[in-house]
Structure 1
Amino acid sequence: MIEGITTFGPESLLDKIKGFEPVFLCVIGTTETSKIENISGAGASAELTEYTPAADVELMVHGKVLCTDKMAETVVDGIAAPTPAVLTKASLEIGDIPFVIVDAGSKIKPNVGAMNLGTDYGRDIRTGKGVLNPLEIFENARELGRELDSRHDYLVIGESIAAGTTTALGVLKALGYSADGKVSGSMPTNPHELKLETVNEGLKNSGLDLDNIDAFQAIGAVGDPIIPAVAGLVLGGNGPIILAGATQMVAVCAVIKAIEPNFDFSRINLATTIYVAKDESADLFDLASQVDEDLTIHVVNPEFEKSSYEGLKLYLNGFAKEGAGAGGAMFTALNRGVSLEDLRGKIEKLCE
């Protein structure tokens, strides 16, 4: 048992990857759905949400944001909740974890080196044409996944995309899952009604027959570039994978199952934060069990209630919760022998 990690499910990879060398991937992308007012909290304003993925990876690489002077942070009573990318950066540094930035289709390009998977970014899913090139993204990602699988013991895959829980809802619904009111969000008040209204409008405008739909049609109608990218990365190799995220990664698993119905989900574990796992406005565990009853989830509790940095305590109140692979990055650092106290101290140091 590792301090700070609680495991739910029978197929834990903790022992299997102990002592193995990982690589962390942060997959970024844009969906113009994020510009719908109040649908996402991942930005200083709806318009600025498109800068969040680029800002997250610039922070990881350079320690500062270059693409905008507006950080993707939530301010409450003058106190800022740090973006989850800070948690990720701290984990990668203290855990000595190599990382790669993968651009699945972003509108705002980061000032970092990145592996590019597609030639376009995601559109507003209300049009019913959320992703114009899902197969291109998937095939390029599968090739990259094959290469990375041959060079590393295991992959840890995170994502950064504003409004990603809305597109996750869209893909899950399109593929027949009961997902209404169950996806998470980056704000204490989860705008489920707005998300569902957005998805339903997109499904209607897509003109698709929902009784006869494949994974790429679902993504093309109401998905985002991240989903085919992560699915391709997984299906490109054969080694163990930690999906660093929550409801968006469940949508990825649903796509994988639609593409390969007999896929062995013991290869995959999810790793997320306690702030998502205990989110009363969502139901991560029900969504995961619908895809595969043996899908294992690791929950990381960094114990921010013990933090001396007030901004981190906002996570306890439902702000930010997860993002940029923070849960999986912390999980990997802890599994590599970093103590929970040292990890929290590193996060606090970066915050300051």
Structure 2
Amino acid sequence: MDKTVKSFGSRDILHKLQNKDSLFLCVIASTLTSRIPDITGAGASPELTDYTPAADVELIAHGEPKCLPDIPQTVVEDQAAPTPAVITKASLEMADIPFLVADAGSAVKPNLPYVNINDKQGQNILTGKAVENPGKIFNKGKMLGETLSRLTSYVVIGESTPAGTTTALGVLEAMGYDAWGKVSGSTPENPHSLKRQTVEKGLQAAGLLDKIPLDPYQAVGAVGDPMIPAVAGITAGSTVPVILAGGTQMTAVCAFLKEAITDFNFDEVSIATTIFVAKDETSDINFIARQIAPLNIFAVDPGFEKSETHGLINYTRGVVKEGVGAGGAMLAANLKGVSVDDIRLKTEELCREIF
């Protein structure tokens, strides 16, 4: 196992997974919350965030997006950085890990085969009516988790959900967790005030601001996104270990699981992210996680400060940080014997080819 993998918990689970077969699932979803100006950097404009999830998975499958003429990227004051899908693609290709997509409610459907969990995208959480029927989404996710468990030794679940840290904040706070100012973001200047105002207005619109803590289905229904119950369901249905590949959004998934299934056992559930989230001074994934369970969190450092690709160097400056399961994909590849240095070199090669 690579020394570039930092551990915030027990490494025992990783030793059990070393050299085992895995499957990488990316769950895509959209919400109209991503249309709020300045709330996310996951797209060149608020309107284009509708295309980001589909374009991300198309890039992994085809090497280019089919739904957009341009590659998704985050642009912050002329600091362009490529989508983390390119890191995921490099990792999966080098380790020969199967790739599957599940649609939990994306605005734009990807041009590739995918599993349908939910057709409808989430609404703007300012309405207080963010997700229709989260219980149905959870149950369908559970069915998928049961099926995937029969195909592999462990499942890695990533996500692409623009504005997902805001909806994660909404779900965490609505269930009574302290997450104000603790969720990550795709830009160096994390818009915590805007996120908090958006969540509070959404809870107020739902008439639930003074009724916290809510149950997980109420929380997602009012101020969440469809990815959260989908990934929670897949995890609940799995009978093999699960690596939740993402940042603070995955803590909302874990909190949902804890509240939805009172005796849920997190022993075989881990969160894998990038070092850019783990060391992010504008958020605190460990602070949130400690309120939920003794979760194992692993952070992979791809060493982008050594990169010759300007866009990847911008990751070290707080742009993007994580997404499309980049941290978990690197970890899974590393568990198959691929070095993180080799993943970085492959990512640079793909950047030259694609961008």
- Shorter-chain TM-score bucket reads over 0.9
Verify the 8 A CA contact 1:243 1:268 in the aligned structure 2. Answer: yes
Post-superposition CA distance 1:30-75 (Å, at most 9, x none): 0110000000000000111111001100101110011112332134
Which letter does structure 2 place at the counterpart of 1:143? Answer: M
Conserved? CA contact 2:174–2:219, under 8 Å: yes
Supply the distance in 2 between the matched residues of 1:105 and 1:265 (Cα, whole angstroms): 26
| Rounded Cα–Cα distance in structure 2 between residues aligned with 1:99 and 1:197 | 37
1:121 aligns with 2:113: no
Q: Does residue 246 of structure 2 align to residue 221 of structure 1?
A: no
The answer to whether the Cα contact below 8 Å between 1:11 and 1:295 also exists between their aligned partners in 2 is no
Which structure 1 segments of 5+ residues have no match? none
Helix, strand or coil for the counterpart of 1:291?
Answer: coil
Q: Is the CA contact 2:53–2:162 (under 8 Å) kept in the aligned structure 1?
A: yes
Q: Which string of whole-angstrom CA distances, capped at 9 and with x for unpartnered residues, describes residues 124-161 of structure 1?
A: 00100000121121111100100001221100000001
Residue identity in the other structure for 2:197: E
Match of residue 307 from structure 2: 307
**Sequence identity (%):** 54
Distance 1:12 1:107 in 2: 39
Is the CA contact 2:2–2:340 (under 8 Å) kept in the aligned structure 1?
A: no
Whether the 8 Å CA contact 1:3–1:339 is kept in 2: the answer is no
| Amino acid across the alignment from 2:105 | G
Q: CA deviation at 1:320?
A: 0.7
CA contact (8 A) 2:7 2:298 kept: yes
Determine the C-alpha separation between the residues in 2 that align with 1:155 and 1:89: 16
The 5 A counterparts of 1:21-60 are 21-60=21-60
> What's the TM-score once normalised by structure 2's chain length?
0.96
Deviations 1:217-275 (A, max 9, x none): 11000000100000000111221110001110000000000011221111111100000
Q: Tell me, what secondary structure is at the counterpart of 1:266?
A: coil
Instruction: Call closer, same or farther: CA 1:201–1:76 in 2, change over 3 Å.
Output: closer
Greater Cα shift, 225-234 or 237-246: 237-246
Cα distance change, pair 79–181 in 1 and its aligned pair in 2 (3 A): closer
CA distance in 2, matches of 1:80, 1:211: 39
**3-state SS of paired residue (1:120):** coil
- For 2:248 and 2:203, locate their aligned partners in 1 and report how far apart those are by CA, in whole Å: 19
**Larger CA deviation: 131-140 vs 161-170:** 131-140
Contact 1:154 1:241 in 2 (8 A): yes
Q: Secondary structure at the match of 1:13?
A: helix
Q: 1:12·1:296 contact (CA, 8 Å) conserved in 2? A: no
Match of 2:320 in 1: 320
- Aligned to 1:61, the other structure's residue is in SS state helix
Structure 1 residues 341 and 213, CA, compared in 2 at 3 Å: closer, same or farther? closer
Matched, 1:156 2:191: no
CA RMSD of aligned residues (A): 1.3
Tell me the matched-pair count.
Answer: 351
Conserved? CA contact 2:176–2:213, under 8 Å: no
Separation in structure 2 between the aligned mates of residue 12 and residue 159 of structure 1, nearest angstrom: 25
Q: Distance in 2 between matches of 1:193 and 1:75?
A: 21
* In structure 2, C-alpha distance between the alignment counterparts of 1:77 and 1:39, rounded to whole Å: 15
Over 3 Å counting, the alpha-carbon distance change for 1:150 and 1:317 in structure 2 is same
Tell me the secondary structure at the aligned position of residue 26 of structure 1: strand
What is the TM-score when the length of structure 1 is the normalising length? 0.97
Match of 2:329 in 1: 329
1:177 aligns with 2:165: no
Q: What CA distance in whole angstroms lies between the structure 1 residues aligned with 2:246 and 2:219?
A: 21
